[in-house]
Chain A
Amino acid sequence: MKTLIQGLVAVALVNGGAAFAQDATRGEKLFNECAACHSPDRAAKDTVGPSLHGVVGRKAGEGTEFRYSPAMKRSGITWSSDTLNSFISDPQKLVPGNRMPYSGLPEAKDRADLIAYLQATMK
């Protein structure tokens, strides 16, 4: 199931945003889980966590002025829908020792919608 949804997200990314508009809207609501620490805005300063504007395609631990953890800097990850999906499902599993105090978003559909929203912030 997980693989299937990741596949769907990947297809959607290739096909463009239109078919995913609904999901990104739901993803924007889900972003409330993140908004105490992260901003989606281009102009936003890093606060408790780094700005997530345009996070898809960025290298982990780079791209903003945020003081990233050594674990995040060393991870060698490039953020794609795939790596984000895996990270958000269990942050300490993918990047052990990272300093984000968040235990993960368990539902695959929620993660897919959230990632669609993050993707949309780049436009």
Chain B
Amino acid sequence: MATRLKEVDAVIVGLGWTGGIMAAELTKAGMKVVALERGADRGTTDDYTVPNIRDELRYVHRHDLMQNTARDTITVRNNPSQEALPMRRLGSFLPGDGVGGSGVHWSGVTWRWTDQEFNVRTMYEERYGKKFIPEDMTIQDWGISYAELEPYYEKFEYTAAVSGKAGNLKGVIQPGGNPFEAPRARDYALPPLKTIHASQMFNDAAIKQGYHPFPIPCANASQAYTNPDGQKFGACQYCGFCQRFGCEANAKGSPHVAVIPVARRSPNFELRTHAWVTRVMKDPSGKRVTGVQYTNLLNGEEYEQPANMVLLTAYAINNVHLMLLSGIGEPYDPVSQKGVIGKNYCYQTGVNANLFFDGKNFNPFMAAGGSRFAMDDFNTNWDFDRGPHGFVGGFTLSAGFNTSLPIGNRPVPSGTPPWGTGWKAALVKNYQQFMNINSSGSVMANRYNCFDLDPTYKNAFGQPLMRMTFDYKANEQKMGTLAAKLVNDLAKSMNPTSFNPARARESWTVVPYQSTHNTGGTIMGVNPKVSAVNKYLQNWDYHNLFVIGANVFPHNNSYNPTGPVGALAYWTADAIINKYQKNPGALVSA
């Protein structure tokens, strides 16, 4: 029998970026908030200092900061005709676990998604006609505009210490920035990071081809910084252990540095770690949720935490899972195309080329999470004509180093023996001489790519695992073919001694690591028939339930998702404090 606890104003499920932002903002507004985090309480002082850092075995191979798949995982298949099998070991993506969530081990890349995403169906139909969008491509407008989100993007960038170079300040194009970005009111919080040699070479080659490269905007503080909430950041030391590691210099914009301490200083806030939420509790009226049920992982005891408002702020996949487990909304069925929960799961695609230059010393071990340069000529550049190529969406090209692991990163030219003396010699020769150019591509929603509950496999709590059905479709394959050609052309123009060319991905597999950019499942929109939440990320059915994260994206862009995830969290916090609290109920009428 679960122990019933005292009611609070809001319960937060998962304390990463979105949970941390909600906790900081709602406690500032005087609300009593309890955060339930399934993992441990971690911080820089005890966990991200020597001797607990720079350990590839612990963090990269044993996934020390990631979800424990022995407790809960997902089952995976490529299409509805297959039987899904459980992912026993993390591979393609790495959901975080513990205070700070995936915001601890991310690289910090922070983009602003534009109206080209938010109005995707309208813009493509207007320019290319309705027939250009394939029938099985279930893309839809998001119901929000860039202009609405702009101040919240800025708030997130200034909170997370984003370093970068503006490309469009109030409509005026800025040299050295991204000329295709949407207009911004202010420059980034900090100037760009130092440029490493590989990024400089890519920059020069791209300019020669007539492209518009720029330093990637990234939440790695290029200088010591204090954010608007008074949180202090150190300057990035270019240690080379960014992605998958906590930051020892407090230079990475992570929730445990940027926002969670703000909440923790408030008497209105309580954090309970090792608290695994199994269900959202519903009022029989069908209009309100009443709190959540959770298990204390340390002793197995069950609790009910009643709350006036429930905020699902776990990893995107887990937010969708909780909705399905709680029976909220109608589960999506890819065959009949009825229901919404689980709909429009998207991932990303990409290609990669390795370039080898005899005599160069790139020092790949010295870099920040944001040491790369990128270009948007085939992405947010709407002048790039998709017509002849026949795909919707776009891709960035980028180069440089982020976390070039000293042990795990073993670049050798094609044709090198896979083991033995020849392999060792090639590795020693090429470690210093290699760089890569890669492309990250969008994935448009497809009716067959979705989540539902697995009929066979269960987690440690006896609940059905989440089932993921996903594969790349013709749209991604066409885009990948063009991206590979452009990457290879650019690589050749740099005259490497040799290079391993980029190839388009055909089908998705759960290994190796690709990106932790899973989106969709409880998508936002203007119509409750085809979306789970409104523009304020408020559930259409239960007005005191907000579902916050990349799970609300109706499709996926080539950009990393955390920029709009952070901006939408601030936008939702603002709506809760200034609209919902004053007049609880649906913020948008259905």
Contact = CB atoms under 8 A, between A and B. Distances in A.
Interface of A: 32-37, 46-48, 69, 99, 101-103
A55 B50 CA distance: 22
Contact of B49 (A32, A33, A99, A102): A99
B249 A101 contact: yes
B409 interface: no
Contacts of A69: 50
Contacts of B257: 36
A114 B257 CA distance: 24
Q: Top 8 nearest A-B pairs by Cβ distance?
A: A36-B234, A36-B250, A99-B50, A36-B232, A101-B249, A33-B224, A35-B232, A32-B224
Interface string B425-468: 00000000000000000000000000000000000000000000
A36 B237 contact: no
A102 B238 CA distance: 10
A1 to B, nearest CB: 25
Nearest to B231: A36
Given A36-B224, A69-B50, A101 B234 contact: yes
A101 B248 contact: yes
B42 to A, nearest CB: 13
Given A47-B45, A48-B45, A69-B50, A33 B235 contact: yes
B49 A36 contact: no
Interface centre among B224, B237, B251 (most CB of A within 10 A): B224
Contacts of A102: 234-235, 237, 249
Contacts of B232: 32, 35-36
Which of A37, A69, A101, A103 has the most CB atoms of chain B within a 10 A radius of its CB?
A101
Nearest to B238: A103
Given A32-B224, A36-B257, A37-B234, 11 more contacts: A34-B234, A35-B224, A35-B226, A36-B249, A37-B249, A48-B45, A69-B50, A101-B234, A101-B237, A102-B235, A102-B249
Contacts of A46: 45
Contacts of A32: 224-226, 232
Contacts of A99: 49-50
A59 B205 CA distance: 53
Nearest to A35: B232
B44 interface: yes
Interface in B244-261: 248-251, 257
A69 B248 CA distance: 15
A113 to B, nearest CB: 15
Contacts of B224: 32-36
Nearest to B234: A36
Interface string B209-249: 00000000000000011100000111101010000000011
A37 B250 contact: yes
Nearest to A103: B237
A26 B167 CA distance: 33
Contacts of A47: 44-45
Interface of B: 44-45, 49-50, 224-226, 232-235, 237, 239, 248-251, 257
Contacts of A35: 224, 226, 232
Contacts of A33: 224, 234-235
Contacts of A103: 237
A102 B234 CA distance: 9
B44 A48 contact: yes
Interface of A is mostly: loop
A33 B237 CA distance: 12
B262 to A, nearest CB: 15
Contacts of A48: 44-45, 49, 248, 250
Contacts of B44: 37, 47-48
A101 B233 contact: no
Nearest to A99: B50
Contacts of A101: 234, 237, 239, 248-249
Contacts of B50: 69, 99
A32 B230 CA distance: 12
A11 B320 CA distance: 67
Nearest to B226: A32
A102 B232 CA distance: 15
Contacts of B234: 33-34, 36-37, 101-102
A122 to B, nearest CB: 22
A101 B233 CA distance: 13
B223 to A, nearest CB: 8
Nearest to B48: A48
Nearest to B257: A36
Contacts of B250: 36-37, 48
A36 B233 contact: yes
A48 B226 CA distance: 16
A66 to B, nearest CB: 10
9 contacts: A32-B232, A36-B233, A36-B251, A37-B249, A47-B44, A48-B44, A48-B248, A101-B237, A102-B249
- Residue among B49, B233, B248, B257 with the most chain A CB within 10 A? B49
A36 B239 CA distance: 17
Nearest to A66: B45
A34 B8 CA distance: 38
B43 to A, nearest CB: 9
A8 to B, nearest CB: 25
A34 B224 CA distance: 8
Nearest to A46: B45
Nearest to B51: A99
A103 B257 CA distance: 21
Contacts of A36: 224, 232-234, 249-251, 257
Highest count of chain B CB atoms <10 Å: which of A34, A36, A99: A36
A71 B11 CA distance: 45
A102 B224 CA distance: 11
B439 to A, nearest CB: 33
A37 B251 CA distance: 10
A37 B231 CA distance: 11
A32 B251 CA distance: 12
A119 B250 CA distance: 25
Contacts of B225: 32
Nearest to B251: A36
A101 B249 CA distance: 6
A35 B250 CA distance: 10
